[in-house]
Amino acid sequence: MTPETKRDVLIAIPLLVVILVLAPLFSHITPFDAVITGVNDQNLLEIAGKTVKAAADGIQQVAISDTAKDPCFANDLQTFSITMSTSMMTALIPPTSQVLMVCGIHVHANTGNPEVINIIEGGGSSCAMNPLAVDGSLTSSKGIRIPGNGYFVMGYGGTTIYKTSGPNRGFCVQTAGTNAMVVSGIYHTQ
């Protein structure tokens, strides 16, 4: 027997003893017994102080309401994607006769240089009519700082992250410099 084999045997024997001693502790499961007797025929009389209606004898009427559901939690979402390398205001989602809701956005610096980006809401093809900064600033140098080859992602959880203040308004992006940026995401109109 080689010294390595003896060492392995000396390690394996105490380990085997520990396993044999502790194994019964992990293999014994004690179930809890519960016995419920009688018949549960209790009907719900009120919910939040309002009388519960019956759909039929013994069947309570149930109403499901999705009025509180966010429009971004939908199956009819649309996508947007632009690549830009200008400091000019660039249309992301053009204005429509409906209210726009951005549900998710991904901004990616497509170069090793850092960049500052702003997300603007406004009227007209380049958001020039009554612009509002929804993320960042109306001053191009004071927006969201994206490191070189960096990115930021917001949303994608079925909730609205940006919403136009009314119809006939769109979303635009503006950078402080001319570094290449990719902006993509999903939105809903209502």
The domain ranges of the chain are 78-189
Instruction: Give the model confidence (pLDDT) of 174-183 as tens digits.
Output: 999 999 999 9
Looking at residue 75, its pLDDT comes to 82
pLDDT: is 42 or 60 the higher one?
60
- Assess whether pLDDT exceeds 60 at residue 32: no
Looking at residue 129, its pLDDT comes to 94
Looking at residue 21, its pLDDT comes to 72
Looking at residue 47, its pLDDT comes to 61
Instruction: Give the model confidence (pLDDT) of 48-85 as tens digits.
Output: 566 767 666 666 666 655 555 888 988 889 999 999 99
pLDDT: is 146 or 25 the higher one?
146
Q: Which architecture, in CATH terms, is 78-189?
A: Sandwich (2.60)
- From its phi and psi, is residue 171 left (phi > 0), alpha (psi between -120 and 50) or beta? beta
Please, are residues 186 and 101 in contact by the beta-carbon 8 Å criterion? Answer: no
Q: Find the length of the chain.
A: 190
